[in-house]
Structure 1
Amino acid sequence: MNHSLNRIRAVSMLAASIALTPTPSSAAVKICTFPGSPSAAMDRAVAQAVFARAHIAATFVSNGIGEGDDDGVSLHELDKTLARNCDVIAGFPRSTVADASGGKMRFSQGYLRAGYVSIEAPGAELKDAAKRTVAATYASPAQLIAVQEHDMTLDLENTSASTVEAVANGHAQRAIVWYPAVVAYRIAHPEHRFTVANADSPYADWHLTFAFGERTAALRPRIDDALAAMTSDGRLHALTKQWTLPAQTASAARYLDTPSAASNLHGGIMLADANASRAGRFIKVANEASAEPPSFEQAQIAHGKALYSSSCAKCHGAQLQGMTAPALQGPSFAPASNSHLTVGGIFGYMATNMPADRPGKMKDQDYADIMAFLLMSNGYKPGGAKMTADSARASTLPLNAGPGR
């Protein structure tokens, strides 16, 4: 559950050094983008137009944000970047599960909804193994979404581009991928066509924003006013329309079973017919009131909290609020009812894929202690028995907020 859940890696590109206005750079606001973003050209174009509309002189800064590592770029590191190298970050991803609210940054309204989708390649010749394979970008929300499926082999790719490539080349039947990566791939490879369906997950929906440091936070109202004006006159739509999620993916639709139930060509991307029959491939959860969470001890909470602080907080936040990775507390993680995640499902994902720099390398009991800490943080109360990896993994309890919240 890491952003290394890498929208910071999967959704970032090197900024070019071009001035937005002829104003000397010493007087201009310095704008950075993330390295590797497939939407970087669009982010620059939007920033250029918005800051000009707000009558704010600005320049782009190359290499303002480092490459980061498999743990992503922490909120603390970004705060330092905005204090030292940049004044504004263009293309900063925010969502209800990772809104970066725990740092010093302040954010504009969103200028593009750009979430995760499921794609297929109509007519692709698939080998037997590929027919049961779904690709996803390692250590990104795509991995967190894909792991919820069953009866599928997970193919983890290092970049969003290679995730799309896995479908284009017939190595995977489908892929869960950041939508701007699909657009960027289509621009580079116009001969390819994809069907697109919405990724039905709380981790799928993101918005691109401008992030301001303390020095430039006062500019935020002017940028919001410029964004509002450009929305009204259609200028923002003209700049972002190629990157905008197809309308049919904006609703909570399940994945298509086959690419045949598709219609409407959208720049080489086939849009899933909103009236087509859909079958969910996510694990079904029986929300039974009689189900009980696995018991855990008070001592486990303390140990789990210490482990979380050393291994998880960098990306999920010291208060579990989400930073470059999803929040692990609150309604986006443990809703009041009707959760599609189970305690066992979360534990299985965590014990297999976390932490991102050492996936599956911690002791089973350490994972169980972290799970105890997560349960306590979401309203569950300790009991008389110790939680083990086996008891956590076997739990089919939907992860709804505990009665103590």
Structure 2
Amino acid sequence: MNHPFHSIRAAGMLAACIALAPSPSEAAVKICTFPGSPSAALDRGVAQAVFARARIAATFVADGIGEGDDDGVSLKELDRTLARNCDVIAGFPRSAVADAADSRMRFSRGYLRAGYVSIEAPGAELKAAAKRTIAATYASPAQLIAVQQQDVTLDLENTSAATVEAVANGRAQRAIVWYPAVVAYRNAHPERSFAVAPADSPYADWQLTFAFGDKTAALRSRIDDALASLSNEGRLQALTKPWSLPAQTASAARYLDAPSTSSFRHAGIVLADMNAARAGRVVKIANEGSIAPPSFEQAQTTHGKTLYSSACAKCHGAQLQGVTAPALQGPSFAPASNSHLTVGGIFNYMATNMPADRPGKMKDQDYADIMAFLLLSNGYKPGASKMTADSARASALPLNAGPGR
């Protein structure tokens, strides 16, 4: 479950070395963007305007952020990038479920809300199998959102562009995808149009920011001031407008209370009918079985913690706080009530798709031990019997955290 820029594994970075009016009195700040990010052009444009307003000389570095491995780019690797190759990362994604708050990085205010959405291609010719197929980008929040859908087949794609393409070409009825990828695809294919609905999930809402390393942390206040100044003048909104979420998809909470509409148009993108979305576009995982918490032993949580540290912490954080993948502890993962996730749903997803570099390759009991550790970390108490893969898989318990469970 990597961050929205899982496409850092794609070849090459889109940013070229572009000078930003360097000043002879100071060394230029080196700015990186994520390789293959759909928002790279936006990130460069915002950076140019913001650093110019802050009167900070800067250049873009073409190869500052490495490819990472099949499990993404770790927090340690990003910290090292900011210590050696770049001074600032433009377009760093942050959210309530993965904000990298425990890193050495410092972050600016957000300059774009860039969430995950559900898209369809009106008029696309669908084959029979495609009518029950949802596309999503592998090892990204899109996959975790998509796996909550009921009675569907998942089409997992390696890039966000391929995910949009799956809908455009009729291989899938709809897709869960990061919204800037939809904009980037539309820019490349202006003849295409999509219906867009919110992805009603705690994993859907993200902000793009600037990330600073130790060497440039002192610049953060100047960049925040520049962002505020450009925003007050309306220039920031003008820069980001083509990439901004349609108003009714800006957040799941606003969407649920919004009036029905099917007439909103945004650069060739039509907002899907709200009542149709409420009727079942985004649904909870449905698992049969007992709603009682599955029992687990204290000893297996210790083993689960060890497994988590070696297989999961790189992206989900040593304290389950989320780094480049969603947090696995706290209200975004296990809210006090009305969870969108179940124990069985999380277990099935984890046992099939994680870890991202070895999906489904661990032993069944190892996955059960990790699940036990996650339950313990979210307020559930151990019992007398051991959790097994079968008992975890069968649990329809909504994952609602709280003391005394």
95-104 or 24-33, which moves further after superposition? 24-33
Other-structure match for 1:139:
139
Shift of 1:254: 11
Shift of 1:264: 2.7
Other-structure match for 2:204:
204
Other-structure match for 1:360:
360
Partner Cα separation in structure 2 for residue 330 and residue 201 of structure 1:
15
Contact 2:115/2:250 (8 A) holds in 1: no
SS at match of 2:20: coil
Q: Deviations over 1:345-369 (max 9, x none)?
A: 1111101110111111111000000
Q: Aligned partner of 1:351: which letter? A: A
Quick one: structure 1 residues 275 and 399, their matched pair in 2 at CA, closer, same or farther if it must change by over 3 Å?
closer
Q: Aligned partner of 1:357: which letter? A: D
Other-structure match for 1:51:
51
Other-structure match for 1:172:
172
Partner Cα separation in structure 1 for residue 2 and residue 198 of structure 2:
21
Quick one: structure 1 residues 254 and 29, their matched pair in 2 at CA, closer, same or farther if it must change by over 3 Å?
closer
Q: Aligned partner of 1:63: which letter? A: D
Q: Deviations over 1:12-44 (max 9, x none)?
A: 943210111133597011100000011111100
Other-structure match for 1:28:
28
Shift of 1:404: 4.2
Gaps of 5+ in 2: none
SS at match of 1:301: helix
User: Are 2:238 and 1:238 aligned?
Assistant: yes
SS at match of 2:382: coil
SS at match of 1:196: strand
Q: Deviations over 1:286-330 (max 9, x none)?
A: 9xxx94211111110111011001100100011111000000011
User: Are 2:340 and 1:317 aligned?
Assistant: no
Quick one: structure 1 residues 392 and 36, their matched pair in 2 at CA, closer, same or farther if it must change by over 3 Å?
same
The TM-score, its normalising length taken from structure 2, stands at 0.93
Partner Cα separation in structure 2 for residue 349 and residue 25 of structure 1:
54
Q: Aligned partner of 2:356: which letter? A: A
Q: Deviations over 1:244-265 (max 9, x none)?
A: 0011212427999xxxx73232
User: Are 2:228 and 1:228 aligned?
Assistant: yes
Q: Aligned partner of 1:191: which letter? A: E
Percent pairwise identity = 83
Partner Cα separation in structure 1 for residue 68 and residue 48 of structure 2:
26
Other-structure match for 1:382:
382
Contact 1:296/1:383 (8 A) holds in 2: yes
Q: Deviations over 1:110-162 (max 9, x none)?
A: 00001111100001111100111110000011001000001111000010001
Partner Cα separation in structure 2 for residue 9 and residue 244 of structure 1:
25
When the two chains are superposed, the root-mean-square deviation of aligned CA atoms in Å is 2.3
User: Are 2:262 and 1:269 aligned?
Assistant: no
Quick one: structure 1 residues 180 and 25, their matched pair in 2 at CA, closer, same or farther if it must change by over 3 Å?
farther
Contact 1:6/1:325 (8 A) holds in 2: no
Partner Cα separation in structure 1 for residue 184 and residue 359 of structure 2:
29
Partner Cα separation in structure 2 for residue 370 and residue 25 of structure 1:
54
Other-structure match for 1:18:
18
Other-structure match for 1:80:
80
Shift of 1:394: 0.9
User: Are 2:359 and 1:373 aligned?
Assistant: no
Contact 1:9/1:37 (8 A) holds in 2: no
Other-structure match for 2:105:
105
Quick one: structure 1 residues 4 and 216, their matched pair in 2 at CA, closer, same or farther if it must change by over 3 Å?
same
Number of residue-to-residue matches in the alignment: 398
Partner Cα separation in structure 1 for residue 5 and residue 222 of structure 2:
31
SS at match of 2:44: helix
The TM-score, its normalising length taken from structure 1, stands at 0.93
Other-structure match for 1:185:
185
Q: Deviations over 1:72-111 (max 9, x none)?
A: 1101100000000010000000000000112100000000
Shift of 1:281: 4.0
